[in-house]
């Protein structure tokens, strides 16, 4: 493990500030090693708050009563001071902030100035649940670390290369011009990291490859990456479109809303809640934990089997569509909780893609732990499991901005 005394080490602190929780990681970008990471949960509840700070594989549990993000970030600073590493000694080079929505303004990471913060604020209508908390994280961390460069890394930035035919919805003009209705995508930091890592793993230049990245976590999205650029992605105006997810429906008939308003008496808020939080795997079989879905399916449970099959069907459909979009595919990469850990779902997606040139390797798929190929060495289209590392990607992008001055 790299130590703070390694002369080549370059440290970045990555912050992911949500409404009631803050995640952070201290990384050495040179080695890619995480020096420390932590989570501060239940901010604002006044009591029963919990935080965990992990250094060298040892997790320090911390009780707290932080009422706001300012107090929560004080806990972060105290955790580093008490359990290490000493932030002054590691010579932090910058702070990278994960920002959920950069709209069409940000096609890459940005040094946070007053103007940039204002633009992020202007995008709150597009990400009302995320951007306000991301901004609070920026403000407080800038107060705590005023001498460091702070960099915004946007989830949407990687997708700004998607061409108009792929990002445009066929809807009335004023929807598109006055209400910013278009596809923005999400998970861009993960798709960017996985695409780059996939090229390294297959030993070919990224700009020659057509890659389909399947990021399958609680939220899930597919991305077609051609020559290192996102050309199509499954999430849309919001992260609700596309694949079947833990609690989100993904693709469905857009007039379902009107139908349910009329026939079930649902209101706008209830509809929004149910389509985002009561649908997907949860709506189909009562759990959004894919491990449980898989276990119940193996035991013959009909609802879990249907949930699994709908998920796999949707994925196969997207793989086919993105192969058409890129006029072929070279590599299919699976990542995030389900992509990395469910050989069952990977098999359900890949085993019947022989017509595309995918020669699935069932044994490799079953025995794989971590990173590796799950197609035969002669397969025309390769499939790999490539664990994502969004924090490292944020840290790298942060350092790139710092280095550019």
User: Which residues are known to be catalytic?
Assistant: 155
Span 260-299, contacts to ligand ADP by CB under 6 A: 289-291, 294
Q: What is the dihedral of CA 350, 353, 354, 358, to 10 degrees?
A: -60
Q: Which is nearer to ligand ADP, 53 or 341 (CB)?
A: 341
The partner residues of 52 in beta bridges, in order of sequence, read: 39, 61
Q: In what order do the strands lie in the sheet with 22-28?
A: 58-64, 49-55, 33-41, 22-28, 11-17, 94-99, 150-154, 110-111
User: Least distance (Å) from ligand ADP to the CB of residue 292?
Assistant: 7
From 93-101, 161-169, 264-272, 336-344, give the range in contact with ligand ADP by CB under 6 A. Answer: 336-344
Q: Which is nearer to ligand ADP, 21 or 160 (CB)?
A: 21
Q: Which is nearer to ligand ADP, 23 or 139 (CB)?
A: 23
Using an 8 Å Cβ cutoff, are 383 and 373 in contact? yes
Per rule CB under 6 A, is residue 19 in the interface with ligand ADP?
A: no
Q: Which is nearer to ligand ADP, 27 or 214 (CB)?
A: 214
Per rule CB under 6 A, is residue 337 in the interface with ligand ADP?
A: yes
Per rule CB under 6 A, is residue 336 in the interface with ligand ADP?
A: yes
Q: Which is nearer to ligand ADP, 90 or 338 (CB)?
A: 338
Per rule CB under 6 A, is residue 381 in the interface with ligand ADP?
A: no
CA-based end-to-end distance of the chain: 29
User: Least distance (Å) from ligand ADP to the CB of residue 337?
Assistant: 2
Per rule CB under 6 A, is residue 338 in the interface with ligand ADP?
A: yes
**Of positions 53, 159, 248, 341, contacts ligand ADP by CB under 6 A:** 341
User: Least distance (Å) from ligand ADP to the CB of residue 343?
Assistant: 8
Q: Which is nearer to ligand ADP, 304 or 338 (CB)?
A: 338
**Of positions 342, 365, 397, 398, contacts ligand ADP by CB under 6 A:** 342
Please report the sign of the dihedral spanned by the C-alpha atoms of residue 43, residue 11, residue 29, residue 109: positive
Nearest to 233 by CA among 218, 248, 220: 220
Own/partner contacts of 217-220, CB < 8 Å, gap of 24 or more, are: 217/246, 217/336, 217/337, 217/338, 217/339, 218/245, 218/246, 218/247, 218/288, 218/337, 219/186, 219/187, 219/245, 219/246, 219/248, 220/244, 220/245, 220/246, 220/250, 220/336, 220/338
Per rule CB under 6 A, is residue 382 in the interface with ligand ADP?
A: no
- Strand 382-385 to strand 331-335: parallel, antiparallel, or no bridges (unpaired)? parallel
E-only strand ranges, 217-357:
220-226, 229-233, 331-335
Q: How many residues bind ligand ADP (CB under 6 A)?
A: 13
User: Least distance (Å) from ligand ADP to the CB of residue 148?
Assistant: 27
Using an 8 Å Cβ cutoff, are 198 and 331 in contact? yes
The partner residues of 61 in beta bridges, in order of sequence, read: 52
Consecutive H or E run containing 22: strand 22-28
Reduce the DSSP state of residue 388 to 3 states and report it.
coil
Per rule CB under 6 A, is residue 311 in the interface with ligand ADP?
A: no
Q: Which is nearer to ligand ADP, 344 or 361 (CB)?
A: 344
Per rule CB under 6 A, is residue 238 in the interface with ligand ADP?
A: no
* Phi-psi region at 356: left, alpha or beta (left = phi > 0; alpha = psi -120 to 50): alpha
Q: Which is nearer to ligand ADP, 47 or 369 (CB)?
A: 369
Per rule CB under 6 A, is residue 246 in the interface with ligand ADP?
A: yes
- Strand 382-385 to strand 229-233: parallel, antiparallel, or no bridges (unpaired)? unpaired
User: Least distance (Å) from ligand ADP to the CB of residue 280?
Assistant: 10
Instruction: Give Cα 49 distance to the centre of its chain.
Output: 25
Whose CB is nearest to ligand ADP? 337
Span 170-229, contacts to ligand ADP by CB under 6 A: 217-219
Spell out, one character per residue from 58 to 97, where the chain touches ligand ADP: x when CB under 6 A holds, - when not: ----------------------------------------
Residues that bind ligand ADP (CB under 6 A): 217-219, 246, 289-291, 294, 336-338, 341-342
């Amino acid at each position: 493990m790299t130590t703070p005394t390694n002369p080549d080490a370059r440290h970045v602190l990555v912050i992911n500030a949500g409404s009631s929780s803050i995640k952070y990681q201290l990384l050495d970008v040179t080695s890619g090693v995480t020096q420390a990471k932590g989570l501060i949960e239940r901010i604002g509840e006044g009591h029963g708050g919990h935080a965990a700070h992990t250094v060298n594989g040892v997790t320090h549990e911390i009780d707290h009563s932080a009422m706001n993000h300012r107090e929560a970030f004080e806990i972060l600073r105290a955790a580093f001071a008490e359990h290490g590493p000493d932030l002054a000694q590691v010579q932090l080079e910058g702070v990278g902030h994960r920002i959920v929505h950069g709209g069409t303004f940000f096609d890459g990471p940005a040094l946070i100035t007053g103007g940039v913060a204002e633009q992020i604020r202007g995008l709150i209508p597009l990400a009302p649940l995320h951007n306000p908390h991301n901004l609070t994280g920026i403000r407080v961390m800038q107060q705590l670390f005023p001498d460091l460069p702070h960099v915004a890394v946007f989830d949407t930035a990687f997708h700004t290369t998607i061409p108009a035919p792929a990002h445009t919805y066929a809807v009335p003009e004023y929807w598109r011009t006055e209400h910013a209705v278009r596809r923005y995508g999400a998970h861009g930091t993960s798709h960017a990291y996985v695409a780059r890592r996939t090229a390294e793993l297959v030993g070919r230049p990224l700009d020659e490859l057509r890659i389909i990245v399947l990021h399958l976590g609680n939220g899930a999205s597919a991305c077609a990456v051609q020559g290192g650029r996102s050309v199509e992605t499954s999430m849309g105006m919001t992260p609700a479109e596309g694949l079947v997810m833990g609690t989100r429906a993904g693709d469905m008939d857009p007039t379902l809303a009107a139908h349910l308003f009329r026939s079930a008496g649902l209101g706008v808020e209830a509809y929004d809640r149910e389509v985002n939080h009561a649908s997907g795997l949860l709506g189909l079989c009562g759990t959004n934990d894919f491990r449980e879905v898989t276990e119940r399916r193996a035991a013959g449970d009909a609802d879990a089997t249907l949930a699994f099959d709908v998920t796999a069907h949707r994925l196969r459909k997207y793989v086919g569509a993105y192969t058409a979009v890129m006029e072929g595919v070279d590599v299919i990469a699976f990542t995030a909780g389900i992509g990395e850990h469910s050989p069952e779902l990977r098999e359900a997606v890949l085993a019947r893609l022989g017509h595309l040139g995918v020669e699935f390797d069932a044994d490799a798929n079953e025995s794989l732990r971590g990173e590796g190929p799950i197609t035969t060495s002669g397969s025309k289209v390769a499939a790999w499991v490539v664990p994502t590392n969004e924090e490292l990607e944020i840290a790298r992008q942060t350092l790139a901005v710092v280095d550019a001055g």
